[in-house]
Amino acid sequence: MPEGPSIILMKESLQPFVGKQVTEASGNAKFDKEVLIGQKLLEICTFGKQTYLIFEKAVIRIHLLMFGSYSINEQTKPDKSLRLGLIFSSEGIYFYTCSVKSVDPEFLFSIDWEADVMSNRWNPQKAEEKLKSSSDMMVCDALMDQNIFSGVGNIIKNEVLFRIGVQPESLLGKLPSQKRKELITEARNYSFDFLEWKRAFTLKKHWLVHTKSICPQCGSKLIKKQTGKGKRRSFYCEKDQKLY
């Protein structure tokens, strides 16, 4: 489920619950769920891969991590291992295998919303400053850095780097400023393409390098390698992606 664009889709499907009151709360999440009962869901905010359910007197943070999932109005059986279930009169939402925490509402004010590539508050200039200040960082790590490109995950990373023709292990400091700009622009552009493809259930079809073995541009074999500090797998073409 979990890169930023997928979280936007989750938010969209949860939107009908905004304005409704919790009547029942269940699940093995380790916080006091009872306090939610009777509270109205005021708003849903997303920041990168995180989702904040804003209630009248509480804020719940949800992170799907790698394998998290959710469902809505589940007719079916006893929970497989429900982390959090919220019933609003007759309808409900259910979260599984994810991180769920109750956070201090004040915490929302400490978030750098301009770092979220999916947000209309996204600030490319700010991203540029952050990139400039860490010149010995590899581009693959930079894209995965949630303080710079909140919402970007491994798939987006690989596809963006192919789009702009940059080898994942390139150092930020060696990147020409034009390329640095493309990196920023495409991180956001690709994320929105991802969103629309995912919405249309055609995301995988559009992958050019991620999990692929042949370069769609020159036909040569793609390199698959764990790169950067994050040691996350990268797929790239040695001919079409330049190492700076």
Give the interface with DNA as residue ranges (CB under 7 A): 1-3, 6, 48-49, 63, 65-67, 69, 80-81, 96-97, 99, 144, 146, 153-155, 210-211, 229-233
Residue closer to DNA, measured from CB, 39 or 99: 99
Q: How far is the CB of 8 from DNA (least distance, A)?
A: 12
Q: How far is the CB of 139 from DNA (least distance, A)?
A: 15
Distance CA 124, CA 128 (A): 6
Which residues, in sequence order, are bridge partners of residue 84? 95
Residue closer to DNA, measured from CB, 69 or 123: 69
| Residue 10: its H or E element | helix 4-14
Q: How far is the CB of 87 from DNA (least distance, A)?
A: 21
Under 8 Å between Cβ of 8 and 197: no
Which residues, in sequence order, are bridge partners of residue 53? 44, 60
| Phi, then psi, of 227 in degrees rounded to 5 | -125, 155
Residue closer to DNA, measured from CB, 2 or 92: 2
Q: How far is the CB of 151 from DNA (least distance, A)?
A: 8
Residue closer to DNA, measured from CB, 22 or 191: 191
Q: How far is the CB of 166 from DNA (least distance, A)?
A: 18
Q: How far is the CB of 196 from DNA (least distance, A)?
A: 14
Residue closer to DNA, measured from CB, 11 or 40: 11
- Secondary structure (3-state) at 213: coil
Residue closer to DNA, measured from CB, 81 or 178: 81
For residue 42 the two structure tokens come to 């005021």
Distance CA 154, CA 168 (A): 11
In single-letter form, the type of residue at position 75 comes to Q
Q: In what order do the strands lie in the sheet with 41-47?
A: 41-47, 50-55, 59-63, 99-103
Distance CA 109, CA 46 (A): 13
Q: How far is the CB of 145 from DNA (least distance, A)?
A: 9
Q: How far is CA 86 from CA 47, 55, 131, 138, in A?
A: 21, 12, 40, 42
Residue closer to DNA, measured from CB, 167 or 227: 227
Candidates 39, 98, 93; CA nearest to 63 is 98
